[in-house]
Structure 1
């Protein structure tokens, strides 16, 4: 087992003997909430499906690069285990928080009002995490997420967003497993057009997926490809612009209490999201530019607060969960 910063306290015996509970089954892995013995707290284990991961020689260097990434808006990888029988485990911190998908689209018995300042904070946090990966500020060169979607953004009680599952698709999975993830992304409306022929994720394909995620936040609708019988969010916005009904695309909960969508940054965020979803990759902004624009167009009621986990109470008021 290889451990990374913050995982030094973990031992192989503790990890393998942790009591696990299945919380999700993905195309390439099963996700467990695992409780360590003797009050050691909880961890998240991702058991990769047999044959989905690259060989041991390729896996080691790749997972070390992923393990070195540290940012307040990322879920950190704490350890990686390769067993003698080929089993592979990714060990993350466990965050008892809801995913952005759950918050937006149900699955919760009760949830807080997702006002525009709160949604903006979530978008900015996710954008900062992705920009950190793309800029390679962890010292290992640029890293592509490869599967940006609302179910891979965790949101805590103060609306701090943390992006998970980064770099797994491009760095760890074999081609068939990576393609299965990308096929799901296409069906759900997150897949950039160029991936039809390119087959390999790049920073600007992440930007496209983030644009869809930002539209999801603004519109409150589940994204989906038109071919899958769902809502193609960029097409809905284009139609609204042509019909001069742009303000009607916003989720009523977002627009509530907003007198002037332009002054509060809603219109600017919509334009930014559509720019991220440009059909041609070269026309999309970088994630660093996305962060800059989101920072410049914060809702007026929240501009005085710095959006970071260390200063969360001042800009959100009531916690997300009681």
Structure 2
């Protein structure tokens, strides 16, 4: 046998060209930029796990993810078909995973479930992400799925530095669990809905991916062939039987780029646009219909992917598109939008709630247009996303407030407090305080300070003296029970605020330790940043990032206010403060939860951009343990802001902070302090005065609102803030909302204000 060398060289050239084209296509069919946030967590595993071409790291070894391990357990099994389901982390009480966020925007949150025991299979629990309920009383045994494992994908908009994912057992006998978790950021343009059909912005709506189909494909498009690790399944099981249905496939290399920047390979891979379901042997008007099970009383976003891979020239394909028999597009001519054939095009459409006639189904139909030149219809891909309802739930009717209130219902089963033991503990505590107080006054204290693995800087007293010009009077910017506050500047130019303990203050030691204890663990854009501390001899100094715009009370009713805060600024500040408090209350930084205990306008600081920072953790407390409903403690706080139920019973809960924050909302609304002894008796106390004024007539809001807001604040927005404040000020804590609910209500108030402004500008 002889070989023609020239032919061999030609073959080598062709093979090399094909290989090069394949490499180029592979690189183009995936996103060139890695997601800014990409967490792949193997819950309870002790080893890295490779699953669908990505590596899942044990939750105990991921430095940017923290979770509650105190009430957790691990279950392992080698009987499952995939390593990702061979381990699980279980929680006997509410517990959270906290993910550090680099990207503020849309994120995929993916949850993997496979019960490794009968207990897990029957357990009922909820999953909360920020202010949204993703799963409500979910149970593996009762969920509607047709496989031995369950994979759930959600889409949420994250606007904070930390995403908190909380697992909440429904009953005391239940546990919550997860086998794996993914959190992946999404380029903003992918979920900038409404490019083709107009509907509201969705940043305040959570989504759940119900279906993602590749029409006409003979097999699913695996995640490694799709950007952002999405899987596209076949469509045949949803297609109503139709002898005219035909699978069409083309060359992925032939799919052209869209002139619309929105429709890119990140929206869907070329493999999806290179296949389609179409009609064949068209003799008269006909259609293709897909039917999907759907939950009633929810709205859905349908993203329909089109690419004309059947026409030979432009303007030769016309068809109709329906959703639940409603017309979406009539005589759709794709080339009129894409200016060519073989170019992707996307239509986004929001349904009303599923119809009463067929409430459990959702249908999509493409129908031949009836024009002589275009008797065909086509659909290449389809995504169906469920939208969260009015209480921000994707799975039921419980709000986040409802979920957490059920989880906090635990009441001690056994009386653990015995008077003799209590007295002994009190005596021991007094001795300890006396010992440390004596040691600190002698300059020999052994106070243990937590530095959370070196996150805080330990300053010398000399450094702080130089930064503050030896605590010069002109650097003095405030006072507190702990001591005086001085601004300063470090050698590198960093502006700082220093709290210098008053040596005569009995509360100095405890507050000094408390601030370091909590702020060394906490990190959030709406909490003040503790940079470090100084502890030399008798000197105790705390060093913070300097807040240029001072405190909220100064800007609301301080003596030197030049330009009053606008209504929008006030709302954004309140939302920021509420977000910071919600972060504390939901259990973070290795603590079960933190109760601030001194929420007031003076402790909400503002940076150069008026971003709110909750400050002063000197009297903060860890929240109740999982088997308790409250913390019993002596009453501390600021008059005018104190929760009356806490004051009366000495029982402290997160709802005490909620009450205090309600007073702050009144200060923001009215532009006056919580207590003003210069006013007549009936007006001294802001809460009593305001509630009495607007007791039965909300039109009286105009009488109490800050006069500087007249003409600026929109009535519906003001009314919403008033409603939230009134709920916060309920006498019984059980009737008060959570800070998560407060945060959502304030966001609604801001949207009402901006919406009214936008309408007025037209």
TM-score by length of 2: 0.34
CA shift digits 1:269-305 (9 cap, x unpaired): 101101111111221111111112212332445369x
CA gap 1:94/1:62 in 2 versus in 1, 3 angstroms: closer
CA gap 1:198/1:16 in 2 versus in 1, 3 angstroms: farther
1:34 is matched with: 488
CA shift digits 1:206-225 (9 cap, x unpaired): 11110000011011122118
2:544 is matched with: 92
CA shift digits 1:37-84 (9 cap, x unpaired): x344321111223332346xx965872332211111111112133323
Please, which of 169, 187, 197 is the counterpart of residue 619 of structure 2? Answer: 169
2:464 is matched with: 15
1:251 partnered with 2:706: yes
Preserved contact between residue 671 and residue 706 of structure 2 (Cα < 8 Å): yes
CA shift digits 1:143-178 (9 cap, x unpaired): 12121111111223433211111x211359xxxxx9
Give the structure with the higher percent helix.
1
1:319 is matched with: none
Please, which of 18, 24, 47 is the counterpart of residue 500 of structure 2? Answer: 47
1:175 is matched with: none
Residues in 2 aligned to 1:258 and 1:60: alpha-carbon distance in whole angstroms = 42
1:145 partnered with 2:573: no
Q: What residue ranges of structure 1 are gaps of 5+ in the alignment?
A: 173-177, 305-322
1:268 is matched with: 720
Count of residue pairs brought into register by the alignment: 285
Please, which of 302, 308, 311 is the counterpart of residue 754 of structure 2? Answer: 302
2:730 is matched with: 278
SS at match of 1:140: coil
Q: Shift in Å at residue 100 of structure 1? A: 1.1
Residues in 2 aligned to 1:70 and 1:257: alpha-carbon distance in whole angstroms = 34
Preserved contact between residue 527 and residue 615 of structure 2 (Cα < 8 Å): yes
CA gap 1:142/1:211 in 2 versus in 1, 3 angstroms: same
Q: Shift in Å at residue 247 of structure 1? A: 2.6
Q: Which moved more, 1:93-102 or 1:16-25?
A: 16-25
Q: Shift in Å at residue 16 of structure 1? A: 4.9
SS at match of 1:215: helix
1:107 partnered with 2:562: no
2:238 is matched with: none
Residues in 1 aligned to 2:740 and 2:646: alpha-carbon distance in whole angstroms = 22
CA gap 1:236/1:5 in 2 versus in 1, 3 angstroms: farther
CA gap 1:266/1:27 in 2 versus in 1, 3 angstroms: same
Superposed, which structure 2 residues align to 1:53-64 within 5 Å?
53-54=508-509, 63-64=516-517
Preserved contact between residue 514 and residue 620 of structure 2 (Cα < 8 Å): no
Q: Shift in Å at residue 103 of structure 1? A: 1.0
Residues in 1 aligned to 2:476 and 2:728: alpha-carbon distance in whole angstroms = 35
SS at match of 2:684: coil
1:240 is matched with: 693
1:24 partnered with 2:478: yes
Preserved contact between residue 234 and residue 274 of structure 1 (Cα < 8 Å): no
Residues in 1 aligned to 2:691 and 2:621: alpha-carbon distance in whole angstroms = 35
Q: Shift in Å at residue 106 of structure 1? A: 2.8
Q: Shift in Å at residue 98 of structure 1? A: 2.6
Give the structure with the higher percent strand.
2
Residues in 1 aligned to 2:450 and 2:696: alpha-carbon distance in whole angstroms = 56
1:219 is matched with: 670
SS at match of 1:23: strand
2:323 is matched with: none
Residues in 2 aligned to 1:252 and 1:59: alpha-carbon distance in whole angstroms = 40
1:191 is matched with: 642
Please, which of 602, 606, 616 is the counterpart of residue 155 of structure 1? Answer: 606
Residues in 2 aligned to 1:48 and 1:242: alpha-carbon distance in whole angstroms = 44
CA shift digits 1:181-210 (9 cap, x unpaired): 63xx21xx1111123244465311111110
CA RMSD of aligned residues (A): 3.2
Residues in 1 aligned to 2:657 and 2:496: alpha-carbon distance in whole angstroms = 27
SS at match of 1:88: strand
Please, which of 198, 205, 218 is the counterpart of residue 656 of structure 2? Answer: 205
CA gap 1:117/1:283 in 2 versus in 1, 3 angstroms: same
Preserved contact between residue 97 and residue 156 of structure 1 (Cα < 8 Å): yes
CA gap 1:237/1:25 in 2 versus in 1, 3 angstroms: closer
Preserved contact between residue 194 and residue 281 of structure 1 (Cα < 8 Å): yes
CA gap 1:155/1:190 in 2 versus in 1, 3 angstroms: same
Residues in 2 aligned to 1:253 and 1:59: alpha-carbon distance in whole angstroms = 39
CA gap 1:32/1:242 in 2 versus in 1, 3 angstroms: closer
* Greater relative contact order structure (CA < 8 Å, 6+ sep): 1
Residues in 1 aligned to 2:747 and 2:755: alpha-carbon distance in whole angstroms = 9
Preserved contact between residue 495 and residue 545 of structure 2 (Cα < 8 Å): yes
| Structure with max Cα Rg | 2
SS at match of 2:508: coil
CA gap 1:4/1:32 in 2 versus in 1, 3 angstroms: farther
Residues in 2 aligned to 1:100 and 1:217: alpha-carbon distance in whole angstroms = 9
